[in-house]
Structure 1
């Protein structure tokens, strides 16, 4: 079906070019014939004498058309040569269809990676600190309007689901060991080199 549609479209385009080219050829022949007949007018004469040249040329054109018609009637086989010649001339006269450039497809926008957005929040919460407890991180996020109904366990589960490491026994700021995040263990932000920070506190033994 697809091949038949392509062939039909090609034939339709060719027929359209033949029709357009034939119309152009008729127009050219008519314009040149009219100009030739008008050129027979004598500007140095007036009245009928001035138009005798035009009349004579019009009669010659009519006689030539009549003679051509009689020749074709007498020898129809000439059409096997005249018709292809006319079609060839019509195709040459018709303007070539310029292929319209296919519209450029807009590049598909990549969906934002939720991990990137979370990493930005984590680095924002850490600030200059090398590490942070999950409880403090959750409080910071909730103050920013994120995870208002989460618990520390919910936050940990979401971080681990995104492949963000959670230190199980973090000890910092003189507080008891608990779960937290360490800057040195976090993946770098997209498009940024790994951020240098002061050495992270060692997990409690």
Structure 2
């Protein structure tokens, strides 16, 4: 009969807590009335359901059993059983690991949805199922803001983290090794010697064309005129 005693104790404890909660709520509601008129109106509203219930109880006893069942259910739910501490609770994800995960999921897109993060954490964390509220709480604890509308290519718009709000920076891509083990070298461009050429313009005038060594498309022109002896 130990189970029956536990049931009675829980119903008694729940009834006390439920009655105290209802009494406090009614008192606070009545006190919120502004002025004597409002106070009296609230008392009338309280008296009406009491009169109706009392009339139903006087008319038939079946209503009483319905009220008893409703009260027992409410009293049972008012008392929460003691929860055992979860000693195997997994630690929260480190902020640096979280940022790395966000960058990995975002890639070259505008951001990442919380649903993507929840699915990835569920796959990586064995024995635990992550939901969107869990991810949102994890991001809030790490100081990472979320946005209501984040567009991700191929997935549409949903609640997520924009890439501008992800801490740190994405990991650089590994550089490809140089071919045949030889380091690439940059050979600076050197100016080739310019060779001028002369053109006779007639009348003793000559034009000297000299290519510009610093600009291959530019040519310096110098015109000289010699006097013809008579």
What is the TM-score normalised by the length of structure 1? 0.38
Higher strand content, 1 or 2? 2
User: Structure with the greater relative contact order (CA < 8 A, sep ≥ 6): 1 or 2?
Assistant: 1
Higher helix content, 1 or 2? 1
What is the TM-score normalised by the length of structure 2? 0.34
